[in-house]
Amino acid sequence: MKVLVTGGAGFIGSHIVDAMINEGHEVVIADNLSTGQRQNINPKARFYEVNICDPALERVFKLENPQIVCHQAAQTVISRSVSEPIFDANVNILGSLNLISSCLRYGVKKVIYASSGGAVYGEPKYLPVDEKHPVDPLSQYGASKHTVEHYLHLYWLQHGLEYVSLRYPNVCGPRQNPSGEAGVVAIFTSQMLRGERPTIFGKGDKTRDYTYVSDIARANVLAMSAGKIGIYNLGTGVETSDQQIFDMIAQNVGYKEAPDYAPVRKGEIYRICLNFSRAKSEIGWQPLVSLKEGLAQTVAFYKKHS
């Protein structure tokens, strides 16, 4: 099948492109390179440098006529969503609507959407969080990602546009950008390799659900052919604290210093891990790469590219 991947030059998107090409699919990338990198682009994919908010995005649909759209492009920085909510909504909501409109006009069969299991649920009432858990985001980012899920459901009801929304955990692996606030594994690893002291926001006891990027890419590939519509959590169902992540990376790097500690940032939740049972039973997905193995592969990548 022909697949359009938005954000396909980014961290997760580029791994999805690679996985789809390895499965024999024809892949087209739309990315404005605001956070994506040209070196991430698979040479077997066709690339268009375009913003999802730009009306020119329709030209990609007209030229390529994709059957499936895998929508990874987004504003993902939680603190920016809090300080610049209009920018966040313009990219994540209006940009997605611009994309969905072209999907309707050009007969796209299905949209696979990258949502956020770490942001839409808010502070969990129970763990691990399943898809029945109340949605109560603490940030504008979480609200914008969830809003698009509502729109996708409406377009399925009104127009028959199929969709699968994958609620991601914290994703780690090669190619993650260590320059922003998201991607603590990339940030800590790069700082340690430079001999800098990483900062943990909070006391080190905040927890997240860390999943290796190849597992996330495989979920997107499985969602293409799964005859299912709806929302699916991805993750491991295991909590890992900030301090544990710091210690595991430090052991891989050989870093001996203690971290700095700073106040928790606005919009961040305290604990999270995700129940992936629905994804396992309905689309045949489960995580295969352990956190220990994933961190080792990630550190090896940054050592090579530091």
Cα separation of 277 and 141, whole Å?
25
What is residue 39's DSSP assignment? Answer: G
The catalytically annotated residue of 48, 113, 121, 141 is 141
- What secondary structure does DSSP assign to 276-306, as a single string? -HHHHHHH-----S-HHHHHHHHHHHHHHH-
Helices and strands of the chain, counted as H and E runs: 11, 13
Say whether 255 is catalytic.
Answer: no
Contacts 24+ apart (CB under 8 A), 157-163: 159/104, 161/100, 161/103, 161/104, 161/108, 161/110, 161/111, 162/109, 162/110, 162/111, 162/229, 163/110, 163/111, 163/112, 163/113, 163/229, 163/230
The rounded distance, in Å, linking the Cα atoms of 184 and 190 is 10
State the Cα torsion 95-96-97-98 to the nearest 10°. Answer: 50
**Which residues sit opposite 240 in a β-bridge?**
208
The structure tokens listed for 301 are: 């990548």
d(CA 248, CA 296): 9
Residue 77 · residue 12 · CB < 8 Å: no
Q: Can you tell me the distance from the alpha carbon of 206 to that of 240, in angstroms, rounded to the nearest whole number?
A: 8
The angle formed by the CA atoms of residues 166, 32 and 35, to the nearest 5 degrees, is: 70
Residue numbers annotated as active site: 141
